[in-house]
C-alpha cells in the first residue's frame, strides 16, 4: 500500500491532529502487524465515515476519557447511557413528536379514566395506584430502557465473555500484550494508554456492541408499542400504566377505525394489565425470575461468533452490533431453558387471556368494533409483534403467548361457572392458577375444543373456542401456528394482507366479524 494513501486515510478518519498521531503509531507496531497493514488495499479499509460513526458511538456513550471507559467496564455488561442515547435518536427520527399533543393527551386521559370505570364491573381488582400517563415515543424509551437493560444483563455478560474468549483463543498474543487496533485488519485507531490492555478493550467492545443492539431495538420498538404493558409484563415504574398517543393514532389510521375507539380499547387493556400487576405482588417477580433463569443459561457458539465478526461488513455501529446478535450466535435451548420458556409462555398466556377476558366484558357495551380490535390483537401476539421480536433478538427467546386463545376461553368458562370474584381469587397464589390443557391434549382437538368461549358468541359446545380446531377430515389445525408459518414464509410481516388469508376459515367464532370489516 502506498504510505501516503495510508496516511491520508488516518487523517480522513480522525482529523489532522489525531490522524498524524495514528500514523506515527504505525511505526511502533510489531513488524509483522505493520507489514500486514501496509499490504492491504486502501480501498478495502473501513470508510472514514464508518470509523467516525464508531468513535461517535463511544463519545455518545460517555466514553470520552480513560476514566469513563474504565467506569463503563466496571459498571456492568451494558452501557445504559449509550443504549438510551441511540434509542432516543431512533424514537425522535422522522419528525416524531417530542411533546404530547394537548388534544391527544386529553383523549387518552379520558379513555384511561373511563376504562377504569368500565373495569369496575368486570373484575375485582382495584385501580392501580398513581395516575396513568400519556407518553411520547422518547418518553417510553426513557421510562422503560432501564428495565430492558435489567432483563438483558445476563445475556450481555455471556456475550461479553464469549467475545473475550474468541479474541483470546483466535488471536492469542498477536498484539504483544497491547491492543493498538481493533476489529478486522487490525486497523490502528487512537487508543488511550490506559485502555491498551486487551482484556479491557475486549470488555469495552462487548459492552458497547450489546448496548448498541439494545438501543436500536428499543428505538425501533418505541415506534410500534401502544402502551406500557404491550410486552405483557410491567416495564414502567408507574404502576398505573401509560399510552403512546402518536402510535395509537397511526394504528387507528391503519385499521380505518375511529381513533377514539382504538384508544378506548387499548386503554382498557392497559389499565387491566395495571390492575392485575398491582393486585398480584408475586407476578412480576415470577416473570423476572424465569427470564433470568433462561438468560443465564444461554451458551454462545464461539465459532459462529468468530464467523460473524469476520464477516462484519463495516466498522459502523450497526454492523458491530449485528455481528454479536444472539439469534446468530446462540446455541439452541438447553432442557433447563426449554422448561423456563414453557413456564414463561404459560404465565404470559394466562395474563393475556385474563386481560382479553375482562377487556371484552368491560368494553363490549361501549366499543362498537371491539371484536375486530380484539381479533387483531390476538393475531398480532400470535405471529409475533415488536415485543416478541425484541425478546428474541436480545434474549434469544421466542416469547409468544401461543395459547392465549385457550387461556381466554378458560377464564371465560371460569367466569361463567363461578363468577368474577372466584375467577380473580385464583391470582392470590401461583398454585391456585388454572392449568391450561396439556399441549399434546390440546393438539389432538379434544381438550382445547371443549373449552367454551361465550365472549366470542359460541355456544356451550365451545366449538372453535381455541386456536386449535378440527377440519372436515378430523385432523387438527392450529390456526395461530399456521398463520405464523405463512407470515414467516412471506417475510414475517405481521401487518400485511396475508394475515387475513391465513385465517380466513379459522373457526374462532362464527359470529366474529372479520377484522378488516371496519
pLDDT digits (tens, 9 = 90+) for 166-211: 666 654 444 444 444 433 333 344 444 544 455 566 667 677 778 8
Report the pLDDT averaged over residues 277-299.
Answer: 89
Percent of the chain with pLDDT over 90: 30
Highest-scoring range by mean pLDDT, 98-107, 329-338, 375-384: 98-107
149 neighbors 157 (Cβ within 8 angstroms): no
User: Looking at the predicted structure, is the pLDDT value of residue 89 above 80?
Assistant: yes
Report the pLDDT averaged over residues 154-160.
Answer: 78
Question: Over the stretch 398-419, which tens digit does the pLDDT of each residue have?
Answer: 666 668 889 999 999 999 999 9
Write down the pLDDT at residue 357: 96
CA-to-CA distance for 97 and 84, rounded, in angstroms? Answer: 17
CA-to-CA distance for 514 and 517, rounded, in angstroms? Answer: 5
Question: Over the stretch 315-329, which tens digit does the pLDDT of each residue have?
Answer: 445 555 565 666 677
- E-strand stretches of 163-263: 181-182, 187-188, 242-244
CA-to-CA distance for 41 and 245, rounded, in angstroms? Answer: 51
Computed over every residue of the chain, the mean pLDDT equals: 74
CA-to-CA distance for 6 and 39, rounded, in angstroms? Answer: 11
Write down the pLDDT at residue 198: 54
**CB neighbour list of residue 78: distance below 8 Å, 6 or more residues apart:** 149, 152, 153, 156, 207, 210, 211, 214
User: Looking at the predicted structure, is the pLDDT value of residue 432 above 70?
Assistant: yes
Write down the pLDDT at residue 399: 63
CA-to-CA distance for 186 and 172, rounded, in angstroms? Answer: 14
Q: Are strands 242-244 and 468-470 parallel, antiparallel or unpaired?
A: unpaired
Instruction: Assign 3-class secondary structure to 451-470.
Output: CCCHHHCCCCCCCCCCCEEE
CA-to-CA distance for 198 and 11, rounded, in angstroms? Answer: 25
User: Looking at the predicted structure, is the pLDDT value of residue 16 above 50?
Assistant: yes
CA-to-CA distance for 266 and 272, rounded, in angstroms? Answer: 10
In 76-174, alpha helices (H): 80-91, 102-119, 137-171
CA-to-CA distance for 102 and 117, rounded, in angstroms? Answer: 23
Write down the pLDDT at residue 167: 63
C-alpha closest to that of 6 among 32, 53, 44, 52: 44
Lowest mean pLDDT among 64-78, 348-362, 451-465: 451-465
Angle, CA 466 vertex, CA 480 and CA 342 arms, to 5°: 65
Q: How many CB atoms neighbour CB 202 within 10 A?
A: 22
Q: Which three cell numbers stand for residue 130?
A: 398513581
pTM of the model: 0.72
Paired with 469 in beta bridges are 477
In 281-403, alpha helices (H): 283-296, 302-311, 317-323, 326-329, 335-363, 370-383, 386-395
Q: Which three cell numbers stand for residue 263?
A: 384508544
347 neighbors 373 (Cβ within 8 angstroms): no
CA-to-CA distance for 466 and 479, rounded, in angstroms? Answer: 9
Percent of the chain with pLDDT over 70: 60
C-alpha closest to that of 225 among 325, 143, 146, 284: 143
Phi, psi of 176 (to 5 degrees): 60, 35
Q: Identify how many contiguous H helices and E strands the chain contains and give both numbers.
A: 22, 6
User: Looking at the predicted structure, is the pLDDT value of residue 68 above 60?
Assistant: no
| Cα 468 off chain centre by | 27
**CB neighbour list of residue 66: distance below 8 Å, 6 or more residues apart:** 192, 193, 194, 195
Phi, psi of 438 (to 5 degrees): -55, 140
CA-to-CA distance for 422 and 281, rounded, in angstroms? Answer: 18
Write down the pLDDT at residue 499: 35
Paired with 227 in beta bridges are 243
3-state secondary structure of 39: coil
Write down the pLDDT at residue 401: 66
Write down the pLDDT at residue 304: 75
Write down the pLDDT at residue 144: 93
Write down the pLDDT at residue 231: 84
Write down the pLDDT at residue 261: 96
Give the confidence band of 370 by pLDDT, cuts at 50, 70, 90.
very high
CA-to-CA distance for 287 and 233, rounded, in angstroms? Answer: 8
Write down the pLDDT at residue 69: 54
What is the full DSSP assignment across 17-35?
HHHHHHHHHHTTS-HHHHH
User: Looking at the predicted structure, is the pLDDT value of residue 369 above 50?
Assistant: yes
40 neighbors 1 (Cβ within 8 angstroms): yes
Question: Over the stretch 457-516, which tens digit does the pLDDT of each residue have?
Answer: 333 333 333 344 444 334 444 545 554 555 455 444 444 433 343 333 333 433 333 333
CA-to-CA distance for 57 and 208, rounded, in angstroms? Answer: 8
Question: Over the stretch 104-113, which tens digit does the pLDDT of each residue have?
Answer: 899 999 999 9
Write down the pLDDT at residue 42: 66
C-alpha closest to that of 243 among 259, 260, 263, 224: 263
Q: How large is the C-alpha radius of gyration of the chain?
A: 26
Amino acid at each position: 500500500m502506498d504510505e501516503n494513501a495510508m496516511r491520508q486515510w488516518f487523517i480522513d478518519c480522525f482529523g489532522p491532529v489525531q490522524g498524524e498521531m495514528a500514523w506515527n503509531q504505525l511505526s511502533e507496531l510489531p513488524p509483522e502487524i505493520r507489514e500486514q497493514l501496509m499490504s492491504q488495499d486502501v480501498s478495502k479499509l473501513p470508510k472514514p465515515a464508518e470509523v467516525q460513526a464508531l468513535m461517535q458511538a463511544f463519545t455518545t456513550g460517555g466514553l470520552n476519557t480513560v476514566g469513563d471507559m474504565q467506569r463503563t467496564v466496571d459498571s456492568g455488561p451494558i452501557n445504559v447511557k449509550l443504549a438510551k442515547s441511540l434509542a432516543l435518536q431512533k424514537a425522535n427520527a422522522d419528525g416524531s413528536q417530542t411533546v404530547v399533543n394537548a388534544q391527544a393527551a386529553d383523549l387518552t386521559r379520558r379513555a384511561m379514566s373511563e376504562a377504569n370505570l368500565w373495569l369496575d364491573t368486570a373484575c375485582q381488582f382495584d385501580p392501580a395506584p398513581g395516575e396513568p400517563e400519556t407518553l411520547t415515543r422518547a418518553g417510553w424509551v426513557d421510562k422503560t430502557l432501564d428495565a430492558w437493560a435489567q432483563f438483558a444483563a445476563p445475556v450481555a455478560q455471556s456475550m461479553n465473555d464469549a467475545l473475550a474468549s474468541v479474541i483470546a483463543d483466535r488471536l492469542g498474543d498477536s498484539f504483544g500484550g497491547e491492543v493498538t487496533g481493533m476489529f478486522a485488519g487490525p486497523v490502528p485507531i487512537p487508543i488511550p494508554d490506559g485502555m491498551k490492555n486487551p482484556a479491557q478493550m475486549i470488555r469495552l467492545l462487548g459492552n458497547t456492541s450489546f448496548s448498541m443492539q439494545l438501543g436500536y431495538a428499543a428505538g425501533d420498538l418505541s415506534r410500534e408499542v401502544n402502551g406500557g404493558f404491550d410486552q405483557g409484563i410491567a416495564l414502567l415504574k408507574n404502576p398505573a400504566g401509560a399510552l403512546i398517543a402518536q402510535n395509537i393514532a397511526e394504528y387507528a389510521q391503519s385499521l380505518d377505525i375511529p381513533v377514539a375507539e382504538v384508544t378506548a380499547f387499548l386503554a382498557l387493556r392497559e389499565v387491566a394489565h395495571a390492575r392485575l400487576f398491582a393486585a398480584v405482588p408475586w407476578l412480576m417477580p415470577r416473570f423476572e425470575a424465569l427470564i433470568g433463569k433462561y438468560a443465564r443459561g444461554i451458551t454462545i457458539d464461539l465459532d459462529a461468533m468468530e464467523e460473524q465478526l469476520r464477516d462484519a461488513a463495516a466498522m459502523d455501529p450497526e454492523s458491530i452490533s449485528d455481528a454479536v446478535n444472539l439469534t446468530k450466535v446462540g446455541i439452541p435451548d438447553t432442557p433447563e431453558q426449554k422448561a423456563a420458556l414453557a413456564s414463561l409462555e404459560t404465565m404470559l398466556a394466562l395474563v393475556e387471556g385474563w386481560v382479553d377476558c375482562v377487556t371484552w366484558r368491560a368494553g363490549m357495551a361501549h366499543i362498537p368494533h371491539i371484536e375486530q380490535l380484539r381479533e387483531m390483537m390476538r393475531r398480532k401476539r400470535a405471529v409475533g409483534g415488536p415485543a416478541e421480536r425484541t425478546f428474541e433478538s436480545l434474549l434469544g427467546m421466542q416469547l409468544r403467548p401461543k395459547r392465549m386463545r385457550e387461556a381466554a376461553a378458560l377464564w371465560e368458562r371460569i367466569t361463567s361457572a363461578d363468577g368474577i370474584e372466584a375467577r380473580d381469587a385464583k391470582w392470590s397464589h401461583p398454585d391456585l392458577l388454572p392449568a391450561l390443557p396439556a399441549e399434546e391434549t390440546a393438539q389432538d382437538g379434544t381438550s382445547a375444543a371443549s373449552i367454551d368461549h361465550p365472549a366470542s358468541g359460541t355456544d356451550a359446545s365451545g366449538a372453535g373456542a381455541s386456536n386449535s380446531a378440527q377440519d372436515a377430515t378430523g385432523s387438527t389445525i392450529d390456526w395461530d401456528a399456521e398463520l405464523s408459518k405463512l407470515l414467516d414464509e412471506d417475510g414475517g410481516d405481521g401487518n400485511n394482507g396475508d394475515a387475513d388469508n391465513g385465517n380466513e376459515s379459522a373457526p374462532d367464532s362464527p359470529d366474529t366479524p372479520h377484522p378488516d370489516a371496519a
